Chain A
């Protein structure tokens, strides 16, 4: 689906998102059990997260601080007084029979996060209704193929701290929704609030979507809101929303059913089939019978605390893009590419740029060589064999003209393969650095052998000098073509 297709549709797609992210703590929200992913089932559980009688929850300070950090970075108003509530429902993965969440006094509300399409398609400032802190449920598994009547419950995840982030219905296309999620993820990873790993369930997204359809009489018809669940990647979110918009338009044409005439519907995304399917109707929120959790005391936040958290936040990606572009004189596009790769890539870039003393060339090498290689190898920058000082050494030598860029790339590939330094690779590849006196002697030889080219250049056809490069490479494969060309032109001018 392309942006131009979106604008030609006879409706506006209205999207709001509800995102849950797992906070990067060592232990659970209300007990000291580990939150490490991938442990054997029911090995990270205790009386508190199992909901055994007599156990009492005590809140994790780090979880609350990380949640504050997320809310501040999203521009939220922080409540001076907040409390936790019980959300009551029965499900086998919820051992207490209620989830500790926040209802009427969330710790933060009224924020926003802007997303800009780097291709210039849109800028969207998305309102945040609220960010609150709650506990996760466990996992239930049902193996239908095994033909058993049982579901298996693992409660390792029960009680893991989650931030719930709810947006206003401000997004206007599936593409915007995906781009916004990317920006949110980038921000939260930069802040160290969450690793946002969707495969491990550290980030989950539900979407609310309906259509606004202008009518001939000027009225706007609104279709019933549908909540979409089971989307396992940002790409799935985009695909599910695109599918759902078309489905709702078809349904509206058939039924003319508008918002408010039917209960809110929940649909699940079936990724292989590429369709959404109806799920059970959502219970009304009053059915959760929220009430304040008597086991937890309220939390108050003052200005001094907020200042401390703010001071620990560093620059968010949106600010860093501008800072990086100005400091290193690189284009906004280049700054965007680097920042979107994450904090470690930015640190690597700045290290290389500082050593080389120039941003643009460092950015080029990062984007064309380092990032491409990381992509191909599926590696992260901290395990990358070419360290910033080695890359800076290589770039410096190319800039000094010891060898040209394509030779530099060969050396880079060899450094990557062997993990050796520039000097070692140069020696092992038999790349002797050609000194200036040798180069001049070689150029004089070439000019003596090619009177026609000399005459052409003197006649004003400088491009004729290109004919000398191949011959120079034959005489000495280590010469830098650009330097040969420049030296020959200087010698001819001096004739």
Chain B
């Protein structure tokens, strides 16, 4: 099992990782080994095995719609690289927001 260099480049782009050409070569070779190892599983016949949605045999875990204390704003912001006491500050984002 070998991965194409361009597949690795795409995954890196999606993960927002900037890789040099040398790093891309290394990653392509190392990731190919990992994928090759995992692809051993392809040798199993799973035609009769239902897909597994979750490894735990547990379902329907809910909580009641009861408010619980939130963090203070100061505590929420304390680990942020930058904030103004009210908001997290990040490099300018222009364009769409909200859940897609």
Interface, chain A (partner B; CB < 8 A) = 20, 25-27, 31-34, 40-47, 50, 52, 58-64, 81, 83, 87-93, 99, 101, 105, 134-137, 139-142, 149-155, 162, 201, 204, 229-230, 266, 268, 279-280, 287, 289, 292, 294, 296-300
B42 within 8 Å of A (CB atoms): no
Q: A25-B65, A83-B53, A294-B54 are in contact. Are A99 and B71 (CB under 8 A)?
A: no
Which of B16, B64, B95, B100 has the most chain A CB atoms inside 10 A of its CB?
B100
Question: Could you give, for residues 61-100 of chain B, a 1 whenever the CB lies within 8 Å of some chain A CB and a 0 otherwise?
Answer: 1111111111111001101001010111111111111111
Question: Could you give, for residues 28-58 of chain B, a 1 whenever the CB lies within 8 Å of some chain A CB and a 0 otherwise?
Answer: 0000000000000000000000000111101
Q: How far is the CB of B52 from chain A (nearest CB, A)?
A: 9
Please report the C-alpha to C-alpha distance between residue A45 and residue B73 in the assembled complex, in whole angstroms.
Answer: 8
Please report the C-alpha to C-alpha distance between residue A31 and residue B83 in the assembled complex, in whole angstroms.
Answer: 24
For the complex of A and B, 3 pairs with smallest distance between CB atoms: A32-B68, A152-B87, A62-B65
Interface, chain B (partner A; CB < 8 A) = 14, 16, 53-56, 58-73, 76-77, 79, 82, 84, 86-100
- Asked whether A153 lies within 8 Å of B63 as measured between CB atoms, the reply is no
- Asked whether A41 lies within 8 Å of B86 as measured between CB atoms, the reply is yes
Q: A92-B90, A105-B53, A204-B98 are in contact. Are A297 and B62 (CB under 8 A)?
A: no
Complex interface: chain B residues within 8 A of A292 (CB): 53-54
- 13 additional contacts, CB 8 Å, given A26-B66, A153-B88, A300-B59? A42-B86, A43-B70, A45-B71, A46-B71, A58-B61, A58-B62, A62-B65, A81-B53, A93-B97, A137-B99, A139-B98, A140-B93, A201-B98
Please report the C-alpha to C-alpha distance between residue A42 and residue B56 in the assembled complex, in whole angstroms.
Answer: 34
Q: A59-B63, A105-B53 are in contact. Are A92 and B87 (CB under 8 A)?
A: no
- Asked whether A89 lies within 8 Å of B54 as measured between CB atoms, the reply is no
- Asked whether B92 lies within 8 Å of A47 as measured between CB atoms, the reply is no
Q: A61-B62, A297-B58 are in contact. Are A89 and B70 (CB under 8 A)?
A: no
- Asked whether A142 lies within 8 Å of B99 as measured between CB atoms, the reply is no
- Asked whether B91 lies within 8 Å of A151 as measured between CB atoms, the reply is yes
> Main SS of the interface on chain B?
loop
- Asked whether A299 lies within 8 Å of B59 as measured between CB atoms, the reply is yes
Complex interface: chain A residues within 8 A of B92 (CB): 142, 149-151
- Asked whether B59 lies within 8 Å of A154 as measured between CB atoms, the reply is no
Please report the C-alpha to C-alpha distance between residue A62 and residue B62 in the assembled complex, in whole angstroms.
Answer: 9
From A60, A81, A201, A229, give the contact of B62 (CB < 8 A): A60
Q: How far is the CB of B12 from chain A (nearest CB, A)?
A: 13
Please report the C-alpha to C-alpha distance between residue A167 and residue B68 in the assembled complex, in whole angstroms.
Answer: 36
Shortest Cβ distance from A151 into B: residue: B93
Complex interface: chain B residues within 8 A of A230 (CB): 96
Complex interface: chain A residues within 8 A of B72 (CB): 43
Complex interface: chain B residues within 8 A of A201 (CB): 98
Please report the C-alpha to C-alpha distance between residue A287 and residue B10 in the assembled complex, in whole angstroms.
Answer: 9
- Asked whether B73 lies within 8 Å of A298 as measured between CB atoms, the reply is no
Please report the C-alpha to C-alpha distance between residue A42 and residue B64 in the assembled complex, in whole angstroms.
Answer: 23
Complex interface: chain B residues within 8 A of A298 (CB): 53-54, 59
Q: A149-B92, A297-B56, A297-B59 are in contact. Are A134 and B99 (CB under 8 A)?
A: yes
- Asked whether B99 lies within 8 Å of A46 as measured between CB atoms, the reply is no
Complex interface: chain A residues within 8 A of B98 (CB): 93, 136-137, 139, 201, 204
Please report the C-alpha to C-alpha distance between residue A279 and residue B97 in the assembled complex, in whole angstroms.
Answer: 12
Complex interface: chain A residues within 8 A of B68 (CB): 27, 31-33, 46
- Asked whether A34 lies within 8 Å of B76 as measured between CB atoms, the reply is no
Q: How far is the CB of B33 from chain A (nearest CB, A)?
A: 21
Complex interface: chain B residues within 8 A of A297 (CB): 54, 56, 58-61
22 contacting pairs across A/B (C-beta < 8 A): A41-B86, A41-B87, A58-B61, A59-B62, A61-B62, A61-B64, A63-B65, A64-B62, A91-B93, A101-B99, A140-B97, A141-B87, A150-B82, A150-B89, A150-B92, A151-B91, A153-B90, A155-B76, A287-B14, A289-B14, A298-B53, A298-B54
Shortest Cβ distance from A152 into B: residue: B87
- Asked whether A61 lies within 8 Å of B63 as measured between CB atoms, the reply is yes
Complex interface: chain A residues within 8 A of B71 (CB): 45-47, 50
Q: How far is the CB of A135 from chain B (nearest CB, A)?
A: 7
Please report the C-alpha to C-alpha distance between residue A137 and residue B82 in the assembled complex, in whole angstroms.
Answer: 20
- Asked whether B86 lies within 8 Å of A40 as measured between CB atoms, the reply is yes
Complex interface: chain B residues within 8 A of A61 (CB): 62-65
Q: How far is the CB of A254 from chain B (nearest CB, A)?
A: 27
Please report the C-alpha to C-alpha distance between residue A272 and residue B21 in the assembled complex, in whole angstroms.
Answer: 47
Please report the C-alpha to C-alpha distance between residue A87 and residue B89 in the assembled complex, in whole angstroms.
Answer: 24
Please report the C-alpha to C-alpha distance between residue A40 and residue B98 in the assembled complex, in whole angstroms.
Answer: 19
- Asked whether A299 lies within 8 Å of B60 as measured between CB atoms, the reply is yes
Q: How far is the CB of A405 from chain B (nearest CB, A)?
A: 49
Q: A58-B61, A137-B97, A298-B53 are in contact. Are A152 and B89 (CB under 8 A)?
A: yes
Complex interface: chain A residues within 8 A of B60 (CB): 297, 299-300
- Asked whether B99 lies within 8 Å of A279 as measured between CB atoms, the reply is no
Please report the C-alpha to C-alpha distance between residue A34 and residue B71 in the assembled complex, in whole angstroms.
Answer: 11
From B16, B61, B76, B93, give the contact of A50 (CB < 8 A): B76
Please report the C-alpha to C-alpha distance between residue A294 and residue B54 in the assembled complex, in whole angstroms.
Answer: 6
- Asked whether A91 lies within 8 Å of B97 as measured between CB atoms, the reply is yes
Please report the C-alpha to C-alpha distance between residue A446 and residue B69 in the assembled complex, in whole angstroms.
Answer: 79
- Asked whether A34 lies within 8 Å of B70 as measured between CB atoms, the reply is yes
